[in-house]
């Protein structure tokens, strides 16, 4: 059985990119894997967020995990800050990572570089992520394409630690889905759909109304020319729509393109396919949010189980580095 870990930040509403890039593969493999899924609230602190909003979104993200199809009886679901070993192990790894390699992380370059007021936490973000993964001896990390560089860093840190201190950490691998690994913004198809960028028309939230989804797909930016062809580099708008259709219905985007001559017909089919895919998720979400006490119980149990695994890894790593046992 493969040990699996992944996480999502409670920094905004879950969107179609989170579902197709990450959540859907978590659900598909939950019978096969020994999986740990965390709501990474400490990572959400690296960008300004209101405390009440963070609390609310943490619960909403937990409801979102279950609504997307995760079964808390089959996987361990928990909140990152409830398991103290993450930050303890992160410190040990901060004493393994170099300034140079963190400076090369594209997320830091995009969100913070060159700004003196940028928070230290944004700089060390990838080390905490490495700790999330390594604390569970994870073999696999199911994520979207944008996380590839972070997983590479995690592997480098684990290898370096093992070289220096002995065979302590498991070196993980990213698993990135064949379709839906990089869902683009519907209004700006040259950048990824994202929680933290205000883009009400460009982002499809997982639990929004069917009318909103239809409207956003209808207004999606397409490219110059009026034929439907699959060319992600040259024609990112229409290609993103074809990717979404392929992700929702199966089939390959290039083959699906041959069924259409007009953007309008393609958009109508993409809208309908997404609404059909998301309707059951939205119904479950509404039901779950009506009783948050059940969610908090799931998270408490999850954190207890996760702590046992993560504490053991921390103890192993601390001992290997020479920290005196208490």
CA-wise closest residue to 216 among 236, 196, 199, 201: 201
CB of 320 to ligand ATP, least distance (A): 29
Nearer to ligand LTN, 43 or 88 (CB): 43
Is 119 a residue of the active site? no
The one segment of 71-79, 88-96, 143-151, 248-256 that binds ligand LTN by CB under 6 A: 143-151
Task: Report residue 110: phi and psi, to 5°.
Answer: -70, -45
Burial class (CB in 10 A: 0-12, 13-18, 19+), 186: buried
Sheet containing 76-79, strands listed edge to edge, beginning at the edge strand earlier in sequence: 76-79, 34-39, 3-8, 140-142, 173-175
CA 100 from chain center: how many Å? 25
Q: Which is nearer to ligand ATP, 79 or 181 (CB)?
A: 181
Question: In 4-95, which residue ranges form alpha helices assigned H by DSSP?
Answer: 16-18, 24-28, 41-44, 51-67, 85-94
Question: Could you say whether residue 132 binds ligand LTN (CB under 6 A)?
Answer: yes
CB atoms within 10 A of CB 143: 23
Asked if 195 is an active-site residue, the reply is yes
Binding residues with ligand LTN: total (CB under 6 A): 13
List Cβ neighbours of 150 (8 Å cut-off, separation of 6 or more).
105, 107, 126, 129, 130, 143
**Residue of 74, 119, 192, 305 marked catalytic:** 192
CB closer to ligand LTN, 182 vs 267: 182
Q: Which of 43, 57, 88, 235 binds ligand LTN (CB under 6 A)?
A: 43
* Per annotation, catalytic residue among 111, 119, 301, 305: 111
Q: Which does 133 bind (CB under 5 to 8 A by kind): ligand LTN, ligand ATP, none?
A: ligand LTN
**Which residues make beta-bridge pairs with 57?**
none
Applying CB under 6 A, among 129, 184, 246, 303 the residue interacting with ligand LTN is 129
Whether 215 sits among the annotated catalytic residues: the reply is no
Q: Which is nearer to ligand ATP, 21 or 72 (CB)?
A: 21
For position 6 contacting ligand LTN by CB under 6 A, the verdict is yes
Residues that bind ligand LTN (CB under 6 A): 5-7, 9, 40, 43, 129, 132-133, 141, 143, 147, 150
| Active site residues per annotation | 111, 192, 195
């Amino acid at each position: 059985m493969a040990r699996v870990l992944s996480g999502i930040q409670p920094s905004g509403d879950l969107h179609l990119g989170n579902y197709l890039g990450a959540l859907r593969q978590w659900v598909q493999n939950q019978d096969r894997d020994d999986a740990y899924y965390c709501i990474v609230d400490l990572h959400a602190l690296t960008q300004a967020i209101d405390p009440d909003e963070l609390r609310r979104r943490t619960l909403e993200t937990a409801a979102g995990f279950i609504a997307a199809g995760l079964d808390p009886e089959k996987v361990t679901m928990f909140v990152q800050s409830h398991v103290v070993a993450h930050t303890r192990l992160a410190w040990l790894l901060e004493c393994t990572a170099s300034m140079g390699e963190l400076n090369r992380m594209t997320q830091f370059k995009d969100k913070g570089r060159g700004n003196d007021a940028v928070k230290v936490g944004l700089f060390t973000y990838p080390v905490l992520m490495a700790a999330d993964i390594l604390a569970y001896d994870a073999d696999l990390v199911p994520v979207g394409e944008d996380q590839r560089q972070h997983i590479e860093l995690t592997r480098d840190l684990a290898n370096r630690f093992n070289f220096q201190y002995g065979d302590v950490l498991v070196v993980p691998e990213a698993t990135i889905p064949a379709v839906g690994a990089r869902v683009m913004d519907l209004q700006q198809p040259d950048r990824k759909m994202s929680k933290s960028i205000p883009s009400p028309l460009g982002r499809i939230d997982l639990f929004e109304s069917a009318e909103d989804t239809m409207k956003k797909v209808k207004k999606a930016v397409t490219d110059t020319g009026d034929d439907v062809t699959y060319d992600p580099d040259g024609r990112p708008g229409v290609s993103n729509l074809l990717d979404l259709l392929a992700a929702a219905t199966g089939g390959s985007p290039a083959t699906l393109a041959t069924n259409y001559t007009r953007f309008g017909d393609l958009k109508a089919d993409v809208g309908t396919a997404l609404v059909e895919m998301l309707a059951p998720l939205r119904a479950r979400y509404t039901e779950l949010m009506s009783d948050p006490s059940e969610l908090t119980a799931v998270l408490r149990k999850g954190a207890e189980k996760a702590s046992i695994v993560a504490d053991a890894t921390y103890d192993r790593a601390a001992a290997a580095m020479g920290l005196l046992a208490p």
